[in-house]
Amino acid sequence: MTPNDNLFSRRSVMTRGAVAAMAGGAVLLHDARRVSAQEAHDHHAHQPAPTTIPARQTEPPEGEYTPVTVPDGAKLPWKLVDGVKVFHLVAEPCTREFAPGLVVQTWGYNGLTHGPLIEAVEGDRCRFYVTNRLPEPTTIHWHGVLLPNGMDGVGGLTQPVIQPGETFRYEFTFKQTGTMLYHPHFDEMTQIALGMMGMIVVHPRAARDAPDRARPRADRDFALMLGEWRIDPGAARPNPSEMSDFNVLTINARSFPATSPLVVRLGQRVRIRFGNLGPMDHHPIHLHGYHFNVIGTDAGPIPESARVPQTTVLVPVGATRDIEFVADAPGDWALHCHMTHHMMNQMGHDIPVTVGADLRDIDEKVRALLPGYMTMGTSGMGDMAQHGDHMPVPANSIPMRGGRGPYGTIDMGGMVTVLKVRENVEKFDEDPGWYDHPPGTVAWRVESGEVNGVVGAGAAASPSPAIAPVAYTCPMHPEVVSDRPGKCPKCGMRLVQRR
């Protein structure tokens, strides 16, 4: 066998797939077509709840692949009709809670933003009825899927648009494996910005059918759609005209601390699939505590010889990336976008720099007109997460960052979740709580004498400059003064160094 024996062209794949479909008696359709509501009803008599998954009737035997888990999301149900898997997608306005206190008016599919995940197996013949309940036309593009041109879903180019109230039928065979996407290809700026997108996972057929393509089976398989939005404080509708200043970042349309953790058992092989259909930004996703391999893109698996260990994977706009690792380190490990502004919620970016400024006199004068006023950020932004405890936020808004952790406030928000690895896990759909660290394995506070002793025993240290006494005060209550850091007894805010 030569290296080229394993290579195949798109045309050869589609040709062989078409011949196989005809041999099996399947009806080949070459373009999306309008159907009556009665046809959609006859083949898919009702629209089941997206979380209802029927028995796997055309899939490989139990245990040959792991069904995908969609934290905070759902999968699209299907029924078998004459050997064809039949799905029904309904494009419609939705309501989605990104986090407690932030409820957003979006567009999506089957009542969900983002749309439910489509899960199939290589070689499956699938039919998708798509009903439009939006106030404008739409289509569906099957991003990364190899299919007949007329099924590609580009309004005006490969098909007529789906008018409000109409239902179209798409039908094709999945001839590849991997993680792909679906989204509209009509008024993309508006419809994608309002949340109309979803992921597709196509599992390979049994290894016995293609032993040269076999790979280790994942024990846990997750799908995470990355999202970015412009939602001004107090507003409920994302702004589809925004090009750069996105202030809400999500994973499966949830913002930390509202994202559900990824729960795995120690020693399991874990696969995480990332999709990015955000309007503008790539996302460098970093996993703490692990090295992983990037094993796939939206064009399919990456050969083993081409994989390199990573700790951060860049997920470009309009692409997917699959990573895989063995969960051999217990703990609560952060998983987040490494763009720092993507780890915040509803941050304003048009404010002046106040870090290091002494604005106490200005604050006192302004308070005469606006009681309770204070200038934020003079000593950094680290205490922003605590403002929610004592300061109101606008209606339908959330604090800029922060969730409660075992050691205080977790100073992150937005595109963040947590991988929770435990030795004994029985229920993967339940949060196991915070990790119980073994004694002596948590960083701890030490006295200055220890530092001086260690430094003195090694290389010569620079002489310490004379340090003036330090006082700490509350930004809201300047009469509260302390000689050590802490919290204000009146409002609970973190005390800042007095200048």
In this prediction, residue 18 carries a pLDDT of 40
> What whole-number distance in Å separates Cα of residue 439 and Cα of residue 429?
28
In this prediction, residue 394 carries a pLDDT of 76
> What whole-number distance in Å separates Cα of residue 196 and Cα of residue 229?
12
> What whole-number distance in Å separates Cα of residue 160 and Cα of residue 260?
39
> What whole-number distance in Å separates Cα of residue 196 and Cα of residue 138?
10
In order along its 499 residues, the chain shows pLDDT tens digits of 333 333 334 334 344 344 333 333 334 456 787 877 667 666 554 444 443 333 333 444 445 789 999 999 999 999 999 999 999 999 999 999 999 989 999 999 999 999 999 999 999 999 999 999 999 999 999 999 999 999 999 999 999 999 999 999 999 999 999 999 999 999 999 999 999 999 999 999 865 555 555 568 899 999 999 999 998 888 999 999 888 788 899 999 999 999 999 999 999 999 999 999 998 889 999 999 999 999 999 999 999 999 999 999 999 999 999 999 999 999 999 999 998 787 677 666 666 777 777 777 787 788 888 887 777 666 666 666 655 556 667 788 776 657 789 988 888 888 899 999 999 998 999 999 999 999 999 998 888 788 877 876 555 555 555 555 678 888 777 778 888 788 888 777 778 776 5
In this prediction, residue 57 carries a pLDDT of 35
In this prediction, residue 63 carries a pLDDT of 54
In this prediction, residue 134 carries a pLDDT of 98
- Structural domains of the chain ordered from first start: 3-215 (2.60.40.420), 227-422 (2.60.40.420)
In this prediction, residue 27 carries a pLDDT of 41
Bridge partner residues of 138 (DSSP): 162
> What whole-number distance in Å separates Cα of residue 315 and Cα of residue 340?
16
CB 129 within 8 A of CB 166: no
Q: What are phi and psi of 259, to 5 degrees?
A: -70, 140
CA distances to 35, 195, 232 from 161, in Å: 13, 19, 32
CA distances to 93, 101, 113, 188, 280 from 283, in Å: 27, 25, 20, 20, 10
In this prediction, residue 33 carries a pLDDT of 78
CA distances to 87, 149, 167, 231 from 171, in Å: 10, 12, 13, 37
pTM given for the model: 0.80
Which one, of 248, 266, 494, 218, lies nearest residue 381 by Cα?
494
Record the tokens describing residue 192, joined without a space: 């994608």
Record the tokens describing residue 3, joined without a space: 């290296």
In this prediction, residue 357 carries a pLDDT of 74
In this prediction, residue 55 carries a pLDDT of 32
Contacts of 248 (CB under 8 A, 6+ apart): 98, 102, 228, 229, 230, 231, 238, 255, 345, 346, 414
